[in-house]
């Protein structure tokens, strides 16, 4: 009896997994003329793919099921959109692009298996992925051995791109945002002193706080107070009392939106009127604060990778097309996924061939204007581009400017 | 006659805690314990400043002013935070004093109270005052209901203490899951409740929330003390606490008395909830966990079963927390629970809980 239950459970899991694998590539390859039936057709074609040139294969790795599937789905949707668009415009190097996505369920082992399948069976020329840091790290190690060009849309862990010369990313890393906000405070807000209140149990928060502190010191901003708190705290009065005594020009809150609401409310109650600074963890803060309290977020500035309020026509077109196609709003992950794919396609075009090293060399020289602005890469293959600075006025986000260090 | 239940309790290895309600008559010396509990208050600020100070005389003077200001503000912050612990601790203490039950679901009552304030204000659109009163009534009712459904049978059948404790944990988990089901597990934002201006005394800036917390908690404690010491139902509570069997023989309806105690304790938690929401405008179904645990520490610290003890414990805990955050915030919870361990080692009956050494 037990065995039968187990067997039927396993069967169900396998069926679900196969549905996940088989279902997803279908919309992706619909633009490609030859390979309309997905995976099964792929090995047959690939035998004589290189010379005759019917399609160029790009692999995708994303968690389409599991805990982090919401990120994976957002990225994957955007990738399919970007590839469809490219194919409609004649593809790349005169060939259509075939997109093969593998669901790795947010698990590093699954991601490595999926990677092996993409590289060894499907012979993809490059990979867009992975989505979260840990699987990306696992795959990045493998990709260095095979020298496969890899570009991740959203893995923020600093060490991911340090794996090798072939690994790129389009999202900002956490320390970069700290550096960026220090520069913004110095150059645009003319801050001479700053305070930091951060969550000392969260690497995101400590990463930004430390980078901000280091850059601020270089820029001649005095760090008047640097206070930490334990994850899950609700009372910040003690730390804010010290901040108030230090009387800084700006207060950096490199934390996620729930904590931002609590801290901002208590900071204003304690009589701290200075500008509040934040990073992309602030994205969505207005959904987490009661309308009667939005005044506490007045005079605050935070950076983000994109702004839905931006008047960029390309971005607005993307957002409305995405909504039409998938029935929900695009988020930061989709915007980054779209740019990552386009940067890769642009690199293949410039490389003039599907040779791995040629593509990697072309990616190094990237200077691509996408939805998030114009991206180039630094020596660690992290993006260098302007960030969007947002503020909150009258209970709504307001686009301030694009800012670049 | 009087020593019999005592001796029985001692044999059971339980702390005889009925004394605790006897503060109307002989109360433990408050002055003494108060002094001992705040050794850092008694120290001169100059001593502190000299420790931190520079050799420059002028800077030292300025340092003293700044330090005094910081010291006072942090203490007031601590008292404000401690007031909420104290109001929750009162509930733990009262219930323990009457039925010897550590009601771990009590922390979740503050969650229930917070959601009720939110629900009545934002969903039903009622004014604040109705929200607070509604929340208090709802929590009092919920407290009685929990007592009737979950604890009553166990109490009347003399179930082992461990069964009661596990039932209380079960109620706590039930409440958390119920509210996740009803309102979702997402954090909810509270609207502005009491929109009062802050007070500025020279350099000293006191937030309105802190003042409100302290004032309300003191008023509540005085009210509760009067209730227990001066009213008929209070007398019944004390009698039930001292010896439920004898109280019953004297014609006291102990069932009603126990239910009343749960109602009052839960109502106080709802007051705490309103203050909490005013101070920290964000609620979630699991918010009662840590809050309840800290309030429980406050109750044990002050001497569980003692009303002024619960208040004192709450204030000490709040001030200790506030000061730890001032110096090294990583240690906050370690200090809070460290205080509990030290207290249990040094004086297991708590600050105002009297260690009864009765001669038989």
Are A239 and B191 inside 8 Å of each other by CB?
no
Q: Which residue has the higher pLDDT, B132 or B28?
A: B132
Name the residue among B221, B308, B332 with its Cα closest to residue B268.
Answer: B221
ipTM above 0.85, yes or no: no
Query: Is some CB atom of chain A closer than 8 A to the CB atom of B122?
Result: yes
Instruction: Out of B81, B209, B282, name the one closest to residue A261 (CB).
Output: B282
- The answer to whether residue B253 is domain-embedded is yes
Residues B233-274 pLDDT 10s? 999 999 998 888 899 999 999 999 999 999 999 999 999 999
Name the residue among A81, A103, A99 with its Cα closest to residue A19.
Answer: A103
- My answer on whether B344 and B201 are in the same domain is no
How much is the average pLDDT of A311-321?
A: 91
Which stretches does DSSP call E strand in A143-235? 150-152, 167-169, 193-199, 222-229
Query: Is some CB atom of chain A closer than 8 A to the CB atom of B80?
Result: yes
How far apart are the C-alpha atoms of B310 and B223, rounded to whole Å? Answer: 14
Query: Is some CB atom of chain A closer than 8 A to the CB atom of B258?
Result: no
Residues B152-179 pLDDT 10s? 999 888 888 889 999 999 999 999 999 9
Q: Evaluate whether B209 touches A267 at the Cβ level (below 8 Å).
A: no
- My answer on whether B251 and B137 are in the same domain is yes
Q: A288: left (phi > 0), else alpha (psi -120 to 50), else beta?
A: alpha
Q: Which residue has the higher pLDDT, A249 or B348?
A: A249
Query: Is some CB atom of chain A closer than 8 A to the CB atom of B336?
Result: no
3.40.50.720, 3.40.50.300, 3.20.20.190, 3.40.50.2300: CATH of A175-304+387-403: 3.40.50.2300
- My answer on whether B319 and B182 are in the same domain is no
How far apart are the C-alpha atoms of A302 and A387, rounded to whole Å? Answer: 10
Domains identified in chain B, total number: 2
- The answer to whether residue B53 is domain-embedded is no
Q: Is the pLDDT of residue B358 over 90?
A: no
A20-172+314-371 homologous superfamily: Response regulator (3.40.50.2300)
Alpha-carbon distances of A304 from A146, A178, A260, A378, A384, rounded to whole Å: 34, 12, 15, 19, 14
Question: Which residue range is the domain that position B246 belongs to?
Answer: 106-286
Name the residue among B119, B90, B124 with its Cα closest to residue B106.
Answer: B90
- Which pLDDT score, from 0 to 100, does residue A30 have? 36
Q: Is the pLDDT of residue B30 over 50?
A: no
- Residue B51 tokens, joined: 């420790």
How far apart are the C-alpha atoms of B242 and B250, rounded to whole Å? Answer: 13
Nearest CA-CA distance, residue B14 and chain A, Å: 35
Are B281 and A290 inside 8 Å of each other by CB?
yes
- My answer on whether B179 and B309 are in the same domain is no
- My answer on whether B251 and B333 are in the same domain is no
- My answer on whether B138 and B272 are in the same domain is yes
Name the residue among B5, B53, B20 with its Cα closest to residue B225.
Answer: B20
Chain A residue numbers with beta carbons less than 8 Å from the beta carbon of B200 are: 271
- My answer on whether B282 and B331 are in the same domain is no
Domain boundaries, chain A: 20-172+314-371, 175-304+387-403
- My answer on whether B142 and B264 are in the same domain is yes
Q: Is the pLDDT of residue B332 over 90?
A: no
- My answer on whether B204 and B324 are in the same domain is no
- Which pLDDT score, from 0 to 100, does residue B185 have? 82
pLDDT band at A10 (very low <50, low <70, confident <90, very high): low
Domain end position, chosen among B236, B260, B286: B286
Q: Is the pLDDT of residue B42 over 50?
A: no
- My answer on whether B226 and B304 are in the same domain is no
Are B282 and A237 inside 8 Å of each other by CB?
no
- My answer on whether B231 and B260 are in the same domain is yes
Name the residue among B257, B256, B99, B111 with its Cα closest to residue B172.
Answer: B111
How much is the average pLDDT of A31-49?
A: 39
Q: Evaluate whether A208 touches A254 at the Cβ level (below 8 Å).
A: yes
- My answer on whether B281 and B304 are in the same domain is no
- Residue A234 tokens, joined: 């609700």
Q: Which residue does chain B place closest to A200, by CA atoms?
A: B330
Segment 282-321 of chain B within 8 Å of chain A by CB? 282, 287, 290, 321
Are B189 and A261 inside 8 Å of each other by CB?
yes
How far apart are the C-alpha atoms of B72 and B7, rounded to whole Å? Answer: 47
How much is the average pLDDT of A351-364?
A: 93
Residues B43-77 pLDDT 10s? 344 444 443 433 344 444 556 677 888 889 999 99
- Longest Cα–Cα distance of chain A, Å, equals 73
Query: Cα torsion at B276, B307, B303, B31 (round to 10°)?
Result: 110
Residues A264-310 pLDDT 10s? 999 999 999 999 999 988 887 888 888 888 999 999 999 988 888 88
How far apart are the C-alpha atoms of B85 and B294, rounded to whole Å? Answer: 7
Secondary structure percentages of chain B, helix, strand, coil, to 5: 75, 5, 20
Nearest CA-CA distance, residue B176 and chain A, Å: 17
Interface with B, mutate which of A201, A209, A234, A294 (most B CBs under 10 A) = A234
A403 SS3 class: strand
- Which pLDDT score, from 0 to 100, does residue A108 have? 92
Instruction: Tell me which of A93-97, A254-258, A271-275, B14-18 is least confident.
Output: B14-18
Residues A167-196 pLDDT 10s? 999 999 888 999 999 999 999 999 999 999
Residues A124-151 pLDDT 10s? 999 998 998 889 999 999 999 999 999 9
């Amino acid at each position: 009896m037990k065995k039968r239950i187990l067997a039927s459970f396993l069967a169900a899991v396998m069926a679900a997994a196969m549905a996940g694998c088989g279902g997803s590539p279908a919309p992706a390859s619909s633009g490609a003329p030859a390979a309309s039936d997905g995976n099964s057709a792929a090995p047959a074609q690939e035998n004589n793919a290189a010379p005759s040139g019917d399609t160029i294969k790009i692999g995708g790795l994303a968690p389409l099921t599991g805990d982090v599937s919401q990120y994976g789905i957002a990225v994957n949707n955007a990738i399919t959109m970007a590839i469809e668009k490219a194919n409609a415009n004649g593809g790349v190097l005169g060939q259509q692009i075939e997109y093969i996505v593998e669901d790795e369920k947010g698990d590093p082992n699954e991601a490595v298996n999926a990677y092996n399948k993409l590289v060894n069976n499907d012979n993809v020329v490059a990979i867009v992925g992975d989505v979260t840091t840990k699987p990306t790290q696992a795959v990045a190690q493998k990709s260095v051995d095979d020298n496969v060009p890899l570009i991740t849309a959203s893995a923020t862990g600093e060490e991911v791109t340090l794996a090798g010369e072939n690994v790129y990313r389009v999202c900002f890393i956490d320390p970069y945002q700290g550096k960026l906000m220090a520069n913004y405070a110095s150059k645009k807000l003319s801050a001479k002193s700053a305070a930091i209140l951060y969550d000392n149990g969260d690497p995101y928060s400590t990463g930004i706080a430390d980078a901000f502190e280091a850059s601020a010191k270089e820029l001649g901003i005095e760090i008047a107070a640097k206070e930490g708190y334990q994850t899950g705290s609700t009372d910040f009065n003690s730390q804010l009392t010290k901040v108030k005594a230090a009387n800084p020009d700006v207060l950096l809150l490199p934390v996620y939106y729930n904590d931002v609401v609590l801290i901002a409310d208590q900071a204003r109650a304690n009589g701290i009127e200075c500008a509040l600074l934040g990073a992309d963890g602030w994205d969505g803060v207005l959904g987490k604060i009661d309308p009667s309290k939005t005044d506490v977020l007045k005079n605050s500035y935070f950076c983000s990778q994109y702004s839905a309020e931006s008047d960029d026509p390309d971005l607005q077109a993307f957002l409305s097309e995405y909504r039409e196609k998938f029935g929900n709003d695009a988020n930061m992950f989709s915007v980054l996924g779209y740019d990552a794919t386009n940067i890769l396609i642009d690199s293949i075009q410039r490389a003039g061939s599907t040779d791995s090293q040629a593509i990697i060399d072309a990616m190094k020289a990237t200077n691509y204007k996408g939805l998030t602005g114009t991206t180039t890469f630094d020596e660690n293959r992290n993006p260098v581009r302007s960030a969007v600075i947002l503020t909150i006025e009258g209970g709504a986000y307001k686009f301030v400017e694009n800012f670049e260090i | 006659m009087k020593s019999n239940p005592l001796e029985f309790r001692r044999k059971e290895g339980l702390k005889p805690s009925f004394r605790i309600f006897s503060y109307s008559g002989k109360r433990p010396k408050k002055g003494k314990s108060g002094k001992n509990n705040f050794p850092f208050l008694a120290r001169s600020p100059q001593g502190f400043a000299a420790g931190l100070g520079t050799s420059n005389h002028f800077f030292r003077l300025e340092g003293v002013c700044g330090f005094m200001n910081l010291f006072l503000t942090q203490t007031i912050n601590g008292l404000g935070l401690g007031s909420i612990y104290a109001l929750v601790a009162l509930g733990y203490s009262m219930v323990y004093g009457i039925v010897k039950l550590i009601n771990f679901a009590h922390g979740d009552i503050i969650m229930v109270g917070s959601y009720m304030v939110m629900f009545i204000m934002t969903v039903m659109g009622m004014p604040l005052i109705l929200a607070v009163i509604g929340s208090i009534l709802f929590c009092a009712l919920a407290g009685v209901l929990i007592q009737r459904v979950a604890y009553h049978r166990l109490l009347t059948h003399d179930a082992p203490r461990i069964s009661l404790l596990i039932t209380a944990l079960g109620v706590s988990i039930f409440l958390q899951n119920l509210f996740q089901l009803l309102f979702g597990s997402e954090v909810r934002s509270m609207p502005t409740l009491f929109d009062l201006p802050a007070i500025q005394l020279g350099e000293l800036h006191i937030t309105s929330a802190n003042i409100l917390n302290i004032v309300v908690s003191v008023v509540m404690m005085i009210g509760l003390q009067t209730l227990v010491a001066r009213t008929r139902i209070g007398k019944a509570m004390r009698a039930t606490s001292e010896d439920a069997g004898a109280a019953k023989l004297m014609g006291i309806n102990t069932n009603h008395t126990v239910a009343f105690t749960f109602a009052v304790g839960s109502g106080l938690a709802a007051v705490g909830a309103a203050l909490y929401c005013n101070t920290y405008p964000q609620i979630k179904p699991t918010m009662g966990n840590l809050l309840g645990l800290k309030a429980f520490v406050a109750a044990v610290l002050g001497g569980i079963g003692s009303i002024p003890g619960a208040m004192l414990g709450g204030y000490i805990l709040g001030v200790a927390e506030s000061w730890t955050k001032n110096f090294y915030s990583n240690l906050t919870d370690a200090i809070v629970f460290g205080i509990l361990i030290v207290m249990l080692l040094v004086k297991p009956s708590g600050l105002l809980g009297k260690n009864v050494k009765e001669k038989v």
